[in-house]
């Protein structure tokens, strides 16, 4: 008898742009595992029904992307602490006992990418500066705090969102006015852009970057383009730069392992597969 072939996929709307199918299919192929990974465009109104139906069709789990990352938290039976803290989930496991388990691996992906790209950075060395206060910023803050960063400056165009983060994440967060974001960049050991500024089709980053200097790490969650204006400035200033594609690759690994049974390696071939 042939064992059931595990199925997984990504649920979003739209979902055609997602790089997750390329990443998971690359791992399935190169690791010689049987399984399929499918993009699924699902409307918000259908999300609950779809999540309850997929396990009956052989799905072992799914990734969840925009706009469902928050809504899925209400549908799940079990939610990890880190997903609760972040307020969103991106990785769903359909458990054998029928329960829907929701986790968030964005913070893990972020920190693994930084560790790989800026190996000399030590979390406890000094403050970090975070631009932005959206969903991605929440995952980044959770990861920076867990890693042991002593102080984190957060600046966002809409200040009230940054203040909400400070009240949710505690005393290590200091909110900085958007017009003073250049100062916090200068004072930090690690600088993180979590805004969509600099992304293809979005506004360009206009935060003053002349304070960037050698000895800093700089990472941008935006990965289209791979070298954003922030990263180009940082590179010219002698900073260690880490692009955002690695975060996408690393956040995919825990889900893949849970669904298909083996831990994948994030390497240059994985990057190439995601960029194809
Ligand atoms: P989000 O919740 O919509 O937040 C968007 C952020 O960008 C907010 O802080 C927003 O500020 C800011 N922003 C947007 N337009 C701006 C402008 N013109 N001027 C100043 N600030 C502006 O989105 P998200 O989910 O956090 O995602 C943010 C970015 O991270 C996206 O580019 C996404 O693709 C990327 N991302 C990458 C990865 C990865 O694996 N590399 C993972 C997750 C997200 P306001 O609050 O003032 O609107």
Catalytic one among 48, 69, 189, 227? 69
Mark whether 126 and 167 lie in a shared domain.
yes
The strands making up 173-176's β-sheet, listed across from edge to edge, are 173-176, 152-155, 128-131, 190-193, 217-220, 240-242
Is the C-beta atom of 106 inside 6 A of ligand 1? yes
Give pLDDT tens digits for 100-133. 999 999 999 999 999 999 999 999 999 999 999 9
In Å, how far are 68, 93, 124, 257 from 8, measured between CA atoms? 16, 9, 38, 12
The CA 9 to ligand 1 mean position distance, Å, reads 24
State yes or no: pLDDT of 157 exceeds 80: yes
* Domain with 43 in it: 7-104+248-275
Residue 120 lies in a domain: yes
| Residue 3 predicted with pLDDT over 80 | no
Asked if residue 68 is part of any domain, the answer here is yes
**DSSP state at residue 2:** P
69 is an active site residue: yes
Same domain, residue pair 72 and 122: no
Which pLDDT score, from 0 to 100, does residue 31 have?
98
DSSP state of 56: G
Q: For residue 2, is it within any domain? A: no
Mutate which of 132, 139, 175, 202 for ligand 1? The one with the most ligand atoms within 8 Å of its CB, which is: 132
- Domain membership of residue 76 (yes or no) is yes
In the chain, the number of structural domains is: 2
pLDDT band, residue 4 (cuts 50/70/90)? confident
User: 197 CA to middle of ligand 1, Å?
Assistant: 7
2: confidence class by pLDDT, cuts 50, 70, 90: low
Report the Cα 217 to chain-centroid distance in Å: 18
146 lies in some domain: yes
- In this structure, what are the phi and psi dihedrals at residue 242, rounded to the nearest 5 degrees? -135, 120
45-102: pLDDT as tens digits: 999 999 999 999 999 999 999 999 999 999 999 999 999 999 999 999 999 999 999 9
**Whose CA is closest to atom 11 on ligand 1?**
157
Query: Do 226 and 170 belong to one domain?
Result: yes
198 in the same domain as 114: yes
For residue 239, what is the DSSP state? -
* Same structural domain, 112 and 196: yes
| Ligand 1 pocket check for 223: Cβ under 6 Å | yes
| 144 and 210 co-located in one domain | yes
Contacts of 97 (CB under 8 A, 6+ apart): none
Do 117 and 231 fall within a single domain? yes
- pTM metric for this prediction: 0.96
96 in the same domain as 141: no
CATH number at residue 46: 3.40.50.10860
pLDDT tens-digit readout, 222-276? 999 999 999 999 999 999 999 999 999 999 999 999 999 999 999 999 999 999 8
Residue 1 placed within a domain: no
Domain-embedded: residue 117: yes
Contact 113, 246 (CB under 8 A): yes
Q: Are residue 196 and residue 235 in the same domain, yes or no?
A: yes
Query: Quick one: what percent of the chain has pLDDT higher than 70?
Result: 99
160 domain residue, yes or no? yes
Quick one: 111 and 239 in the same domain?
A: yes
Whether 215 and 124 map to the same domain: the answer is yes
Under 8 Å CB-to-CB from 243, ≥6 apart: which residues? Answer: 117, 219, 220, 223, 226, 227, 228, 231
CATH classification of the domain holding 123: 3.40.50.720
Helix axes 106-117, 135-147, angle to 10 degrees: 60
Q: Are residues 65 and 119 in the same domain?
A: no
């Amino acid at each position: 008898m042939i064992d059931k072939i595990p199925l997984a996929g990504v649920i979003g709307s739209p979902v055609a742009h997602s790089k997750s199918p390329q990443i998971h299919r690359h791992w399935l192929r190169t690791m010689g595992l049987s399984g399929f990974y499918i993009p699924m465009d699902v409307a918000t109104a259908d999300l609950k029904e779809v999540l309850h139906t997929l396990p009956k069709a052989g799905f072992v789990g799914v990734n969840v992307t925009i706009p469902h990352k928050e809504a899925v938290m209400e549908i799940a039976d079990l939610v990890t602490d880190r997903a609760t803290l972040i307020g969103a989930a991106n990785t769903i496991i359909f458990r054998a006992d029928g329960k829907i388990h929701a986790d968030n691996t964005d913070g893990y992906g972020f920190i693994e990418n930084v560790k790989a790209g800026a190996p000399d950075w030590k979390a406890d060395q000094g403050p970090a500066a975070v631009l932005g206060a959206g969903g991605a910023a929440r995952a980044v803050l959770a990861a920076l705090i867990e890693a042991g960063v002593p102080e984190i400056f957060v600046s966002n165009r809409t200040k009230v969102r940054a203040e909400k983060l400070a009240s949710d994440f505690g005393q290590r967060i200091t909110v900085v006015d958007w017009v003073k974001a250049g100062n916090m960049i200068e004072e930090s050991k690690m600088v993180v852009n979590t805004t969509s500024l600099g992304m293809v089709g979005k506004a360009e980053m206009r935060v003053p970057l002349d304070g960037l200097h050698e000895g800093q790490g700089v990472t941008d969650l935006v990965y289209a383009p791979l070298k954003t204006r922030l990263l180009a400035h940082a590179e010219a200033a002698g900073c260690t730069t880490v692009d955002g594609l690695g975060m996408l690759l690393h956040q995919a690994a825990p889900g893949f392992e849970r669904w298909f049974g083996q831990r994948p390696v994030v390497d240059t071939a994985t990057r190439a597969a995601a960029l194809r």
